Amino acid sequence: MKSFEYGDGEIGHTEIFYAVASMVIAIGILNLPRDLAQATNYVDGVFSLIIAGLFAILFTWMIASLAAKYPKQSFYSYTASLISRPIAFVITLGLTIHFLLFVAYETRMIGVIAAHYIFDRTPIEVASFSFLMLIVYAVSGSHVGILRLNLMFLPIIVLIAITICLMNLAYFDTENLSPFFTTDLKGYWKGVQESYFSFSGYEILLFYIVLMNRPKKAPKFAALGMIIPVLLYATFYVITIGVFSYDTTQTMVFPTIELAKEVEVPGGFFERLESVFFIIWIMAIFNTAAMAYDVSLLAARSIFKKVKKKTLIFIFSPIIFLAAMFPQNLNEIRTMATYISYSSLFVVVFIPIVLLVIAKLRGIKGSE
């Protein structure tokens, strides 16, 4: 069936912009303020956060320009042309696993938070499983469809985030912010690390830029897309510290959800905003997980060309579920998150730099 060009396989720069923002906004923000507050003093963490954000924007730009160099070529194919087929195969396979783990982590976290804030007796497995099924439904549609979901959800997500921040202004105490610059350098560095991890996820660009109709615009809009989460997270952090003071922030499991809990809507239909917040945040987490799964399918299909997408989904989904249910408690989940973050760091910093350098050295030009 022939249909419109824009209805089919191609995406514009808007989709890339939204994709980066949606991918990054997810679980990270829920516990980021605590990790940051543990590393730094008072509101100093926001500087770490912004430095990490700048790094993230830089890397986003780098990755996007790498991928945009080879328009309409899959990651596997241009990697193969740069550094031989077997190495490209291994890297792509690694990326597939990396993204699958990502999905597993998000799936598990959904279960954990749902069980904590919404449910009492409903098992985590059920919450996670139904979420995973939803992702499976999403990825069995088109790639473009998933990117379009971002366009529909991200505004709602940003809106609820801003609402929470605004409503907390009533409890905001500027005195909680000062004194400034009391953290030592080591603390700042730790803060940068912690916040950098919460910005991971934009490595999806390696695979999504293939779908773009005008990839030259990709680096600019991807970097712009990264600015949204950086600003949002910074705002959240300042508000959290202002409302709770940094000592208290350190002691809460999910400070951001507590922030929503702090608010009491006067005369509203909903009294407990944290449930509404979390409910909306499920959309954010869904976007992230769905894109990660989608990208892992893209990666896997670029190396196993003959296998059908449906077959891959049927193979991957049980693996994801088992991986999601593997950690026993919050600490083990955190360990899992740390591993994912490190592999993400490897993916976004090491691989692109190496590839860019090799591309320069060997002078292989993409079909520009």
Give bridge partners of residue 264 from the DSSP assignment: 272
Cβ atoms of 173 and 243 within 8 Å: the answer is: yes
Binding site for other proteins (CB under 8 A): 1-4, 6-7, 11-12, 14-15, 114, 116-123, 126-127, 129-131, 133-134, 136-138, 140-142, 144-146, 148-153, 175, 178-179, 182, 244-245, 247-248, 250-251, 258, 261-262, 264, 267-272, 275-276, 279-280, 282-283, 286, 310
Report helix, strand or coil for 212: strand
| Distance in Å, CB of 181 to other proteins, minimum | 9
Contact 140, 330 (CB under 8 A): no
CB of 309 to other proteins, least distance (A): 10
Nearer to other proteins, 97 or 144 (CB): 144
Smallest separation (angstroms) from other proteins to the CB of 55: 28
- Give the shortest CB-152-to-other proteins separation in angstroms: 5
Q: Are 359 and 82 in contact (CB under 8 A)?
A: yes
Could you tell me which of 59, 200, 221 has the C-alpha nearest to residue 147? 221
Using an 8 Å Cβ cutoff, are 22 and 153 in contact?
A: yes
Would you say 40 and 48 are in contact if contact means Cβ atoms under 8 Å apart? yes
For 186, other C-beta atoms within 10 Å of its C-beta total: 10
CB of 279 to other proteins, least distance (A): 5
Nearer to other proteins by Cβ, of 311 and 335: the residue is 311
**Residue 182 burial (CB count, 10 A):** 12
| Residue placing its CB nearer to other proteins in the complex, 123 or 353 | 123
Name the strand (E) or helix (H) holding 118: none
- Closest to other proteins by CB, 194 vs 294, is 294
For CA atoms 132, 137, 143, 149, the dihedral sign is: negative
Two tokens, residue 246: 């940094």
**Is the Cβ of residue 88 or residue 124 nearer to other proteins in the bound state?**
124
Closest distance to other proteins from the beta carbon of 217 (Å): 15
| Closest distance of CB 150 from other proteins, Å | 8
**Minimal distance, residue 112 CB to other proteins, in Å:** 12
Give 22-33 as a DSSP string. Answer: HHHSSTHHHHHH
Among residues 83, 244, 247, the alpha carbon closest in space to that of 171 is found at: 244
Do the Cβ atoms of 243 and 172 come closer than 8 Å? yes
Shorter beta-carbon distance to other proteins: residue 115 or 205: 115
Q: Which is nearer to other proteins, 17 or 196 (CB)?
A: 17
Question: Judged by CB, which is closer to other proteins: 15, or 203?
Answer: 15
